[in-house]
Amino acid sequence: MARVTLDMLLRAYAQGIFPMSESRHDPHISWFDPHKRGILPLEDFHVPKRLARTVRQQPFQVKTDTAFQRVVEGCASPRPGRWTTWINDSIIDMFTGLYGIGHAHSVECWEGSELVGGLYGVSLGAAFFGESMFSVHQDASKVALVYLVARLRAGGYTLLDTQFVTSHLQRFGALEISRAEYLKRLKVAVTKDADFHRLPANAPPDDVLKLAKIDEIAAS
């Protein structure tokens, strides 16, 4: 199989195509362009009341881009109820490469020196393609998602792609749109400028919640 270059990978994302493997130890990569696409509208993000309380209590130190590869490896590792993942070594290498050139980012939750959860994704123009998340402590990945949305809103992003819609993401407002509608939004988003790091690293939790549309809190 021909080597996938970072330029090829970015061009695929710009066309709505993304890679996955069948399992953690399957060496092959498949490319997906689903008829229905999951997105999380940044203007209609829902924060459950209990999660908002957790964010305010600051149980984790939230950082960005300090342990990108560890986050990807955490997402690739088996967990109870999820004994295999779609992230193989080739995918880890590709996304680590995108991180190295500024086109991928991580949001991390730490307890002291322990990485306890986080998420990562690809950034292209004003589009952010959420790839995966993991958590070893309760709510860590959910807190990372709240901080991600706040960061994207602060940085001028217009599209948060979740690839597929799960019942977990539906709680936050995720919805499914047609491929045609997705491509229309994507075409506009990738031509715009956005800044993933515009939100200060030490932003207070109340500021984060306001940016994440705390005025539209969903029921717990």
Domains of the chain: 6-12+36-216 (3.40.630.70)
Task: Determine the Cα–Cα distance for residues 136 and 78; give it in Å rounded to an integer.
Answer: 11
Positive or negative torsion for Cα 151, 153, 159, 165: positive
Classify 162 as helix, strand or coil.
strand
Low-confidence ranges of the chain (pLDDT < 70): 1-2, 78-84, 214-220
Res 22: pLDDT: 77
Nearest 5 degrees, angle CA 107-CA 75-CA 92? 95
Res 27: pLDDT: 75
Task: Determine the Cα–Cα distance for residues 131 and 158; give it in Å rounded to an integer.
Answer: 17
pTM above 0.85, yes or no: yes
